[in-house]
Structure 1
């Protein structure tokens, strides 16, 4: 890999040198130029090529073209970004190998998500369908300085379309495979001379599930039922004072995806697989070597359906104190719920299929003052406060799991087990950023944030009141007795024991503070080239997991992790503005990385636990190239190479065996990712324009476990998408025909184990459709 990195550096230097040599050519009025992309990554509008950060900026139109409906799809166009689906519905995002594999709804992620700078601190809040998005910016590397939540992996910032000065309207309709249709509409315009409004809505529906049962031919799962809505008011109260108020909501009442059950590994430490439920013994597994994304199975004893929803309000206030000074306030409230969502485990049996009840709330306030005239010294300072609350109750149907000790397939010791917890967190921070224009070509940027956080958690596991059989309480009562506690644990009472055999609710508190920051030196030898070198230090707060626990040690928190990052990059506009080449190399040092591993329970086998790995490393390189070599032809390529390594960490592997993970790569971290795009448009007569596009995205293989267990492999895959279009030259009408994953490539998104089942989530199979778009302005 040293060779690969060195070659990349040589390529970068030669390419940027080429850019320096040729960007001074005279530019005629008829030149082909790339469209300038404006971003707000540094809390102000500027060209993406002037920002000394590796950024992937995706327009709302491109997202629609590629079928990117929510945050989980961003990896289609962002090398270095991966999404894995947890067993209880919480998405896990990883960027440049930096992720946090905790399925708790209130877990703090390493990759934070924002909508118009308002935070969505829980990943679950970001899984709803996008609506009326202008663009999304993916910022790579620690982003603790200017954003309200410290993150070690990066930040995803959605920018919504704003009300305009004239009446606009748009509508689109799509029909595709699996009897799926999408409808989206938008109306925007002035209400008065100072008040503008915009409202947009979207629905995605399907009448046919895309998954097919391996044991019941003709039975399908995966019908889609999603809605999203956004409303916005923009009021220019005075020439210097403006307010923007927005309301967003989404709901997902779809059928959940079922994992492919590729193996059954009994977790009963006494009998192993000798005593199992006939339903499990006779259940049909999915061939682990299958190339069929659709193959799966699920129980027919539960009504499998999601009932997830989200609601948020945000108020932006801007006060121009002078031509160069501005005071900004961002107040936001967000709430998300999973109200009885039922999730399958992958077998036609009850083997820890879940009903999830969860509620999340966050309130945040940011106030910042910025002074900027583009010369001398620009600066920004502010404060940020947030208050988060979350509660979650997972009800597991365990009638057929091996640790339930089924007798002759007729009687189980327990059938339903619950785990519930509540979390509260308070965060306060102050931050500042200074940009010093040293000369016409050099600029020094320095910023820092001090953060203080307090989090509280309480939770436990218990027999559900509706559980049949004796339940687990008598067994845990006996365990408590061996620890010196004579206590009779009743049904519905906590049975998560402490070291003395006590069964009180686990209560914990974690107080942490941190200092994060970034220093960057920019060199712009001319208007078309930017070189930058940066050092940044980011932290991610610690937290308490919500896990199926028989021992209170499983609820103990992980402490905050720290990442120090060096990055060297360049951005060059070349060939008279028709070509853009960007590249970067980076090196991360990780302290106390938070990892999900295992603890060996004497009664239930290996159970999950969060721990800190003392030392880890990440290094890699990225580049992107965009060019318009001919009129109407656009080509782009982007790639990332990432090498991750745990330097020091000992724990248990997925099977509960002691393991030294030193030298192992991170899970969910493919080494190579890239995507390619070719788009060509051409006029037909004077009134119409036709075109077609082909894109390809590739992700290298990785593994869902730290020990790289072969059963948990995530094989490499490459996805082709194709689109043809015909529209009017004034862009009022557009008809498109498209295909996604046209080669029906198999994609393993995640492999995980819950109870006895090893389940694998897959990507979508091939899909085709037609779209009609109309715009009035």
Structure 2
């Protein structure tokens, strides 16, 4: 039934578009009317959209209001082959023709260049703030390797604001809606004399939260944001024009970066080979937390097996005895903090102990100058500075654990001495974490923050000769600095740091040149500094939490030129070329979260070098240069069935810079060894072929544009979390697709808009990658294991060896260490690197009678089997996107009432390159309606609208978290049904 409905929806929209073309030749008795022309700057010069040989969609301020597109995230409803979703950290993924930003390293760049008034902004809030006093928004589809150049392999989104004019005018708007929504906008334009003008615009939005936190009984995911823009224009002579723009955006609310967290619980195996597993502790250590089940099954609303977490397992070590002489563990052995818990099936209902915090400040300053050297040559300068500060914190897990801490009151230490407050760690069964506060549960939160600065300068020389030849020459420079931090806090991390490390004296720790601050000046310890500062005043130098610190400095310059030559009155050739030189300097700051202390170990067990702070490793200096551009031939034939037609064919080449993967923890290889991972990832390149036709028919009543394209992609960047970092990989692919856009206005009162996109993507033959959700790839001869506690990623080992260890009947501790030894890489269980031989007897030969080296005997050193990606679809590349909207205006005296409805459909896609059941994102649709009553003579407009009429909650994307937190999936969805009424007045 659902599949049939999806097919009917696609056919209905397709039929609607072609029905428009079929009806174009009919004679209309109504008064003459035409589809409004739109002037765009897709080629950085003002031209009719129908004359530009580029696949470009443009939305005027009136169109944005009619479609109720109030921010960048909603542009997908108006542009074919576009998808959008929030991302897990501080950015988003706006994808055009399957090309988006799936690389989430701090050093990666968006593949769709986002521009403010034609200035590219590497970090921006144009997809979070609401549109304010916009002249139009242009979306250029396909690589823009000449004029926009750097990184625009997917396309360009260019938001163009209104600038000061010569007339005094103003605008005021107020809106109220459900979720106690209140919005205000105001604009005033003031001419000052004959040559100068000012324009001031401002807006503010407040509303209650879309989501409900059942644990705290609070509404979260609300909005409290405001924007202002001040612009000034000066035209002292007819040949010289200049303007200045300052835009400020600020938000301080409880916006959630992610939605609900889903998990198909993995209880761990009950049998390995012929050995039955009765110990829950062993089952937990053989569990990966969550299984790769469909996100749409009931089972996905489970919770991870928290007993599989390394920090839970380590916290179960004993720290005292009660009066009866019984051992008391901080967390009872074998505890699963989430045992017995389930989640609501409502994607807008969560249960967390920590409500989100979201703060953003963004400023853009732009200074533009135009000087007419003569009647045919114009020199243009654009200078811009952008500053972006971002802070977002939320519960790391979207569910609340059971109480887990034992009561430490009245306990005795190993010398039979009472443990007295304040040294008792969990009085009354509660632990107090300096960042997360007091709780008897396992509490976890994250923090994503960034500080970004960008300078941009562009100079262009443009001609406007009346002859056959014209040109545009230019150069630009970008200097971008970014400091990105991502933290994960957990009260068990702090507990372990305070009560298992700092009383463990380890003689002879070798620092190997690293800067180390001891916890006390009297002793040499393997100790972890616990940051005492609260979360909102975080010092950031502690090791009781995970921190990924990323400092990036990008400098890029380019020179470009584009020539336009009319071969005849109907044929034109466009040729463009660009040279880009990119340099990125990444300063790696390794993480310093150190788990794995063991009181029975006579040497350092965490492998950490640094007691406090985050010393940097040497800079990673990368540099690339690229030659890109385009060649276009367009033809304007005279045909009997259209008023005007342009047919074009183009070849273009695009480029996007590479970057550095974030560093892992700085570990002493004599203690712990990690499997090697790539330090950097390669740049992307795409060769794109496109043909298109832009047609005006029926006396201007119909516009019908069609495009076909083919992409040959090299090294598309995609990332996943490996060893707690964002590991970026490169894959070749090819893509082809079709796009149709139509506007039909048979009368002054009636208009229909429609677009349709089809996309076919395939990853290249022979491309492979390890799927962290399925490391064995279904091979029963291999088993997934939890490695040594300080190593965050799971491994695989031969099932026969796992069975042999389980069948040996050894004490539980030896059994657990034996299983961990199959992953190798620790002093406690035996090093797999001969350069750093173990100082202890190897567990496997000593206790289990065999030897095993994962580096030589396991696929990819034990990381797992590679999945064959050949022929898989690119992530977030739905095969079908479609929208059809219609409006009708009733006129009565001086009043006009316009009724409009819009239907949007997005086909199914995948969240990851592996294209498994777990990755599949189902198709979804959306319906919006509005009614607008206006009196143009008075500038009065009253509007009511409903967005997401049927209150649907689709999953638009998902993000898989790390192995050591159970491989949970953060999912993203749409806003719920929104109902509002607004009143506006122009003067």
Bin the TM-score by the shorter chain: 0.7 to 0.9
Cα distance 1:98–1:401, how it changes in 2: closer, same or farther (>3 A)? farther
Query: What stretches of structure 2 of length at least 5 have no aligned partner?
Result: 1-10, 269-283, 289-304, 313-334, 402-441, 500-527, 529-542, 667-673, 776-865
Q: In angstroms, what is the RMSD of aligned CA positions?
A: 3.4
Mapping 1:354-753, distance limit 5 Å:
354-399=446-491, 416-463=545-592, 471-472=594-595, 489-494=609-614, 505=617, 507-526=619-638, 528-546=644-662, 556-597=679-720, 599=722, 601=723, 608-613=726-731, 615-648=732-765, 649-655=767-773, 657=775, 658-684=866-892, 686-730=893-937, 732-753=939-960
For residue 74 of structure 1, give the secondary structure of its aligned residue in structure 2: helix
Most deviating of 68-77 and 388-397:
68-77
Q: Which residue does 1:54 correspond to in 2? A: 55
Rounded Cα–Cα distance in structure 2 between residues aligned with 1:374 and 1:514: 33
Q: How far off its partner does 1:76 sit?
A: 2.1
Most deviating of 574-583 and 505-514:
505-514
Per-residue CA distance 1:681-739 (angstroms, 9 max, x = gap): 1112x121111100011111112111123233321111000101212132611111111
Rounded Cα–Cα distance in structure 1 between residues aligned with 2:583 and 2:218: 49
Does the 8 Å CA contact 2:901/2:927 hold for their aligned counterparts?
yes
Cα distance 1:281–1:29, how it changes in 2: closer, same or farther (>3 A)? closer
Mapping 1:244-263, distance limit 5 Å:
244-257=243-256, 258-263=258-263
Indicate whether 1:773 and 2:984 are aligned: yes
For residue 64 of structure 1, give the secondary structure of its aligned residue in structure 2: helix
Q: How far off its partner does 1:593 sit?
A: 1.2
Rounded Cα–Cα distance in structure 2 between residues aligned with 1:314 and 1:352: 41
Does the 8 Å CA contact 1:462/1:491 hold for their aligned counterparts?
no
Rounded Cα–Cα distance in structure 2 between residues aligned with 1:580 and 1:309: 41
Rounded Cα–Cα distance in structure 2 between residues aligned with 1:403 and 1:623: 59
Rounded Cα–Cα distance in structure 2 between residues aligned with 1:115 and 1:327: 20
Cα distance 1:234–1:432, how it changes in 2: closer, same or farther (>3 A)? same
Q: How far off its partner does 1:663 sit?
A: 1.1
Cα distance 1:284–1:310, how it changes in 2: closer, same or farther (>3 A)? farther
Cα distance 1:561–1:360, how it changes in 2: closer, same or farther (>3 A)? same
Mapping 1:265-304, distance limit 5 Å:
272=288, 273=305, 274-275=307-308, 280-282=337-339, 284-286=341-343, 290=345, 292-300=346-354, 304=356
Q: Which residue does 1:236 correspond to in 2? A: 235
Query: What stretches of structure 1 of length at least 5 have no aligned partner?
Result: 1-6, 408-412, 465-470, 495-502
Q: Which residue does 1:117 correspond to in 2? A: 118
Cα distance 1:212–1:65, how it changes in 2: closer, same or farther (>3 A)? farther
For residue 636 of structure 2, give the secondary structure of its aligned residue in structure 1: strand
Q: Which residue does 2:385 correspond to in 1? A: 333
Question: What number of residue pairs does the alignment pair up?
Answer: 729
For residue 711 of structure 1, give the secondary structure of its aligned residue in structure 2: helix
Q: How far off its partner does 1:416 sit?
A: 1.8
Where is the strand percentage greater, Structure 1 or Structure 2? 1
Does the 8 Å CA contact 2:353/2:443 hold for their aligned counterparts?
no
Rounded Cα–Cα distance in structure 2 between residues aligned with 1:552 and 1:505: 19
Q: How far off its partner does 1:214 sit?
A: 5.0
Q: Which residue does 2:174 correspond to in 1? A: 173
Most deviating of 714-723 and 367-376:
367-376
Cα distance 1:695–1:488, how it changes in 2: closer, same or farther (>3 A)? closer
Per-residue CA distance 1:114-171 (angstroms, 9 max, x = gap): 1111111225565333211111000000012011533110000111111111111001
Which of 374, 379, 396 matches 1:322?
A: 374
Does the 8 Å CA contact 1:311/1:334 hold for their aligned counterparts?
yes
Cα distance 1:123–1:310, how it changes in 2: closer, same or farther (>3 A)? closer
Cα distance 1:15–1:129, how it changes in 2: closer, same or farther (>3 A)? closer
Rounded Cα–Cα distance in structure 2 between residues aligned with 1:256 and 1:576: 48
For residue 102 of structure 1, give the secondary structure of its aligned residue in structure 2: coil
Cα distance 1:525–1:549, how it changes in 2: closer, same or farther (>3 A)? farther
Rounded Cα–Cα distance in structure 2 between residues aligned with 1:404 and 1:81: 47
Rounded Cα–Cα distance in structure 1 between residues aligned with 2:617 and 2:720: 23
Does the 8 Å CA contact 1:308/1:341 hold for their aligned counterparts?
no
Per-residue CA distance 1:544-577 (angstroms, 9 max, x = gap): 2447667696572212110000001001000010
Rounded Cα–Cα distance in structure 2 between residues aligned with 1:547 and 1:699: 37
Rounded Cα–Cα distance in structure 2 between residues aligned with 1:175 and 1:746: 23
Q: Which residue does 2:82 correspond to in 1? A: 81
Cα distance 1:547–1:748, how it changes in 2: closer, same or farther (>3 A)? farther
Most deviating of 711-720 and 422-431:
711-720
Rounded Cα–Cα distance in structure 2 between residues aligned with 1:650 and 1:151: 26
Rounded Cα–Cα distance in structure 1 between residues aligned with 2:897 and 2:952: 28
Q: How far off its partner does 1:348 sit?
A: 2.6
Cα distance 1:98–1:15, how it changes in 2: closer, same or farther (>3 A)? same
Structure whose CA Rg is larger: 2
Q: How far off its partner does 1:452 sit?
A: 0.6
Rounded Cα–Cα distance in structure 2 between residues aligned with 1:73 and 1:33: 27
Q: How far off its partner does 1:67 sit?
A: 3.8
Q: How far off its partner does 1:378 sit?
A: 0.5
Cα distance 1:331–1:98, how it changes in 2: closer, same or farther (>3 A)? same
Rounded Cα–Cα distance in structure 2 between residues aligned with 1:444 and 1:142: 18
Q: TM-score, normalised by structure 1?
A: 0.87
Does the 8 Å CA contact 1:618/1:644 hold for their aligned counterparts?
yes
